[in-house]
Amino acid sequence: MKWSLIIELSKALMFARLKQTGVAAVGVMFSITMFVALLGFMNGLNAMLDGLVLNRTPHIRFYNEIKPNPNQPVDESPDFSNSLNFIRSIKPSTSRLAIHNAEKIIQTLESDSRVLGVSPKISSQVFFNVGTIDLTGVVNGIDVEKEAQLFAFTDYVTSGNYEDLNQTNTILLGKGLADRMLADIGDVIQVTTAQGNQVQLKVVGYYQSGLGDFDNANSFASITTTQKLLGESPSYITDIQVKLYDLDQAPPMARELEQIFEIDADDIQTVNAQFETGTNIRTLISYAVGITLLVVSGFGIYNILNMMIYEKLDTIAILKAIGFNSTDVNRIFITIALSIGVIGGGIGLILGFLTCLGIDQIPFETEALPTIKTFPIDYNPKYYLIGGSFSLITTYFAGFFPARKASGVDPVDIIRGK
């Protein structure tokens, strides 16, 4: 039978029960709208939360960990070499925090095709002298331009100009730390290192990551200023931060380079394993809720088509009596189901996009996240592709079983019953 005739008959049956058809289409439309809006919002929220940690975390971090020497003198002694020795209260060895030959390591990493960028860093515990009170904190010596390029540093500078850190004896304070010290931009504060060195630094801005504990203790200065603060040479570096093109390469690459450079290495997956697990669970919940909505709408279409078949048994009998075979009847009802899915799904995708645009305009202001002005939304096209595909799959199967039932109707039994 010609498809044009099948489509015409499908249209006639749909318009004959226009109210029921409209209810089914609205069910699909609502499901797709909520599916797209829910995934866009939840994944936008996930991206924002991930950014709070992952933007500021290197994919691989190289450093020297202070730990006890595994080779104790008693184990090296010939008199006790064959004995089982128990040693308590082992103290860390006199190892250095600075990375030996850091410049050559950085050059080697920058020449690696897997590496996006490398940024040196110095991390030092200090005391911020506020009158007669000393506040403990951390000064992070950074390469300002590399930090802005690789770690979205500028996104978290809420006041002042980060480029002023390139000047000597300047510091950018965490917002919580600045509030505790009552330090305004332009003020000069005094910093004392653990070695007793005292330096006066000018405040050039505030930094706010959204992580309260971090902002209450951390500050930033240039590498040159930090080296001067600690009284160290220009080659003094305690951390090497690496960003990769492919995040998934971080664990094996960290183990590989740890052996080559003979220094400690941490990869981002290991350090933030629990955070990544939380993100995956939230994403899974979003998909589960969205797919549940689509399945529920599929049952609605199934019920409506079932009722339509019972009400149109005489029509089906007449169609089969005048030459329509079981395959043609099957195609008619599947066409009805797919038409509902296409119309409802298409409108749902448009309304889902408009809903995301509306959510994206809702103000979201909090002191913890000053750089976030509206609710975050992810406009990834894959959500629309998944939603559209699943609406067609759901409506197809919702129409398949009623259509198979309709194709098996015996016209003789129906006409005899009439």
Question: Per-residue pLDDT for the chain (418 aa), expressed as one digit of tens each?
Answer: 577 777 787 777 777 777 777 877 887 888 888 888 888 888 888 777 777 777 778 889 998 877 666 666 666 677 766 777 777 766 666 567 788 888 899 999 989 899 999 999 998 889 998 877 888 889 999 998 888 888 888 878 888 888 888 888 899 998 888 888 888 898 899 999 888 888 899 999 998 877 778 888 899 999 999 998 888 888 899 999 999 988 888 889 999 888 888 888 888 888 776 666 777 787 788 778 777 777 776 777 677 767 766 666 667 677 777 777 777 777 887 888 888 888 888 998 999 999 999 988 888 776 666 667 788 888 889 888 888 887 888 778 777 777 777 677 666 666 665 5
Is residue 171 situated within a structural domain? yes
Q: Residue 312 has what DSSP assignment?
A: T
Residue 165 and residue 133 share a domain = yes
Is residue 137 situated within a structural domain? yes
Report d(CA 297, CA 303) in Å as an integer: 10
Please identify, among 247, 268, 289, the residue that sits at the C-terminal boundary of a domain: 268
| pTM exceeds cut of 0.75 | no
Residue 235 and residue 108 share a domain = yes
Q: How many CB atoms lie within 10 A of CB 408?
A: 11
Residue 308 and residue 256 share a domain = no
pLDDT at 75: 67
Residue 315 and residue 257 share a domain = no
Q: How many CB atoms lie within 10 A of CB 385?
A: 11
Residue 388 and residue 280 share a domain = yes
Secondary structure (3-state) at 363: strand
- Of the candidates 195, 192, 171, the one whose C-alpha atom is nearest the C-alpha of residue 183 is 171
Query: What six digits make up the tokens of 255?
Result: 């183990």
- Give the domain range for residue 66: 60-83+94-268
Please identify, among 218, 239, 268, the residue that sits at the C-terminal boundary of a domain: 268
Is residue 336 situated within a structural domain? yes
Any idea which residue has 């904190």 for tokens?
Answer: 137
pLDDT at 74: 67
Residue 320 and residue 381 share a domain = yes
Residue 67 and residue 203 share a domain = yes
Residue 345 and residue 304 share a domain = yes
pLDDT at 310: 67
pLDDT at 370: 65
- Of the candidates 398, 416, 405, 404, the one whose C-alpha atom is nearest the C-alpha of residue 314 is 416
Query: What six digits make up the tokens of 4?
Result: 């044009």
How many residues are there in the chain?
418
Please identify, among 268, 298, 324, the residue that sits at the C-terminal boundary of a domain: 268
Query: What six digits make up the tokens of 265?
Result: 């290495």
Any idea which residue has 């003789």 for tokens?
Answer: 412
Residue 100 and residue 11 share a domain = no
Is residue 89 situated within a structural domain? no
Report d(CA 42, CA 378) in Å as an integer: 8
Is residue 88 situated within a structural domain? no
Number of domains in the chain: 2
Residue 263 and residue 293 share a domain = no
Query: Do 243 and 161 contact (CB within 8 A), yes or no?
Result: no
Q: How many CB atoms lie within 10 A of CB 245?
A: 11
Query: What six digits make up the tokens of 326?
Result: 């079981």
For residue 135, what are the CA distances in angstroms to 11, 13, 52, 217? 77, 78, 25, 9
Residue 249 and residue 101 share a domain = yes
Q: How many CB atoms lie within 10 A of CB 379?
A: 14
Residue 401 and residue 290 share a domain = yes
